[in-house]
């Protein structure tokens, strides 16, 4: 018999909620605008209301729900369901989220970091369906990651494992806001991709991209670079070669360390598609040890914007 759980993706702009079954299918969904709530408690009350409505819509009772999983953009203590703080959402410092919601709803609650949740969703129900050992990375403004070992999330000693974006790429490199320097994120994050393309335009090396943005450098984004690469623009393709090479370098270290069956890449930058994936795969094959390097599959994430909700519910399946 299929089971049901609630999956919540709490984001800086929207909080997305869904009733998900144990096959990973979303049966009912709803959405709140996170920024409409001026306090943490009013947002929590609205979330509780939406959960009750979802359960009712499905013709179920709280007793039929396995639990409520929540993915949040920040560090958490998974065992206690405690949120240390959220990126871009104010007033959540040291919030006992599990306790607060269980008190309101009398349903078990689990809280985890949003990238861990996405990794779990992709491995159970997305690109990695059935994988026992996988690493998931997300490429965007930040670069995050989640590690699945023997079918379960690996969280580490203080629940921060999987920070692929803060693996050192250079021994002496650019300062990073994690406190380190030379981190992968500083060389493949959204801002860096845009700034490298702007430098190429200023140096007269990217006339095609310059024409696409009508000379307005402030509108250069990774999406523009992707669009240009798809049209065959040489400067854009060359930039993805560089970015893919850096990502592949870090991933080859991960392949040697963890020997995963697959690495799943998601997030906005992954939409660059083959111009990015080609150099990533090539670099991983070239730099990692022969047997694990040949075995590992490098795939694009499949669940898109639903990964957070599906993955959060998957904490209970
Ligand atoms: Zn860093």
Q: Which two tokens stand for residue 111?
A: 């809280």
- DSSP assignment of 222-238: HHHHHHHHHTT-HHHHH
178 C-alpha to center of ligand 1: Å?
4
84 C-alpha to center of ligand 1: Å?
18
User: How many structural domains comprise the chain?
Assistant: 2
Residue 105 shares a structural domain with residue 164: no
114 C-alpha to center of ligand 1: Å?
18
d(CA 135, CA 122): 10
190 C-alpha to center of ligand 1: Å?
14
164 C-alpha to center of ligand 1: Å?
9
Residue 241 shares a structural domain with residue 135: yes
d(CA 183, CA 163): 10
Residue 240 shares a structural domain with residue 205: yes
Residue 246 shares a structural domain with residue 116: no
Protein residues near ligand 1, an ion, with CB under 5 A: 166, 176, 178, 180, 183
Domain with residue 223: its CATH number is: 3.30.420.40
Residue 102 shares a structural domain with residue 137: no
92 C-alpha to center of ligand 1: Å?
23
Residue 25 shares a structural domain with residue 72: yes
d(CA 285, CA 297): 10
d(CA 30, CA 51): 9
Spans of the chain below 70 pLDDT = none
Residue 161 shares a structural domain with residue 117: no
Q: Which pLDDT score, from 0 to 100, does residue 188 have?
A: 97
310 C-alpha to center of ligand 1: Å?
28
Phi (first) and psi of residue 255, to 5 degrees:
-60, -45
Residues of the domain holding 88: 4-121+306-314
Residue 251 shares a structural domain with residue 200: yes
79, 80, 81, 82: CA torsion to nearest 10: -130
Residue 198 shares a structural domain with residue 296: yes
Q: Which pLDDT score, from 0 to 100, does residue 277 have?
A: 98
175 C-alpha to center of ligand 1: Å?
8
Residue 139 shares a structural domain with residue 252: yes
Q: Which pLDDT score, from 0 to 100, does residue 90 have?
A: 87
In the block, tokens 């399946």 appear at 317
Q: Could you tell me how far CA 232 lies from the centroid of its own chain?
A: 28
d(CA 80, CA 116): 16
Q: Which of 179, 176, 178, 198 is nearest to 187 (CA)?
A: 176
Residue 93 shares a structural domain with residue 190: no
Span between the terminal Cα atoms of the chain, in Å: 12
Mapping DSSP onto H, E and C, the string for 244-266 reads HHHHHHHHHHHHHHHCCCEEEEE
Q: Which pLDDT score, from 0 to 100, does residue 1 have?
A: 82
176 C-alpha to center of ligand 1: Å?
5
Q: Which pLDDT score, from 0 to 100, does residue 130 have?
A: 85
d(CA 75, CA 308): 16
Residue 133 shares a structural domain with residue 263: yes
Per-residue exposure over 3-29, b if at least 16 CB sit within 10 Å of its own CB, e if not: ebbbbbbbbeeebbbbbbebebeeebb
């Amino acid at each position: 018999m299929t089971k049901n759980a609630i999956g919540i993706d709490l984001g800086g702009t929207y909080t997305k909620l869904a009733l998900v079954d144990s096959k990973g299918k979303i049966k009912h969904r709803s959405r709140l605008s996170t920024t409409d709530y001026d306090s943490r408690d009013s947002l929590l009350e609205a979330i509780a209301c939406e959960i009750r409505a979802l359960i009712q819509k499905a013709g179920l009772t709280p007793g039929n729900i396995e639990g409520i999983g929540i993915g949040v953009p920040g560090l958490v203590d998974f065992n206690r369901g405690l949120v240390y703080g959220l990126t871009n959402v104010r007033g959540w410092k040291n919030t006992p989220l599990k306790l607060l919601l269980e008190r309101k709803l009398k349903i078990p609650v689990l809280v985890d970091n949003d990238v861990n949740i996405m990794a779990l969703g992709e491995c159970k129900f997305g690109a990695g369906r059935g994988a026992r050992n996988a690493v998931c990375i997300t490429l965007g403004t930040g670069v995050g990651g989640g590690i699945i070992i023997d079918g379960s999330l690996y969280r580490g000693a203080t629940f921060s494992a999987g920070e692929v974006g803060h693996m050192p790429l250079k021994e002496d490199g650019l300062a990073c806001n994690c406190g380190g320097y030379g981190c992968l994120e500083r060389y493949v994050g959204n801002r860096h991709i845009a700034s490298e393309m702007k430098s190429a335009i200023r140096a007269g090396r990217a006339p095609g991209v310059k024409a696409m943005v009508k000379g307005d450098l402030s509108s250069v984004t990774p999406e523009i670079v992707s669009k240009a690469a798809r049209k065959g623009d040489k400067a854009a393709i060359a930039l993805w070669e560089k970015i893919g090479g850096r990502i592949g370098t870090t991933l080859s270290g991960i392949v040697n360390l963890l020997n995963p069956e697959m690495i799943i890449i998601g997030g906005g930058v992954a939409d660059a598609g083959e111009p990015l994936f080609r150099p990533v795969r090539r670099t991983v094959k070239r730099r990692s040890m022969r047997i694990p390097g040949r075995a590992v599959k490098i795939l694009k994430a499949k669940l898109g914007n639903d990964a957070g909700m599906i993955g959060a519910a998957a904490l209970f399946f």
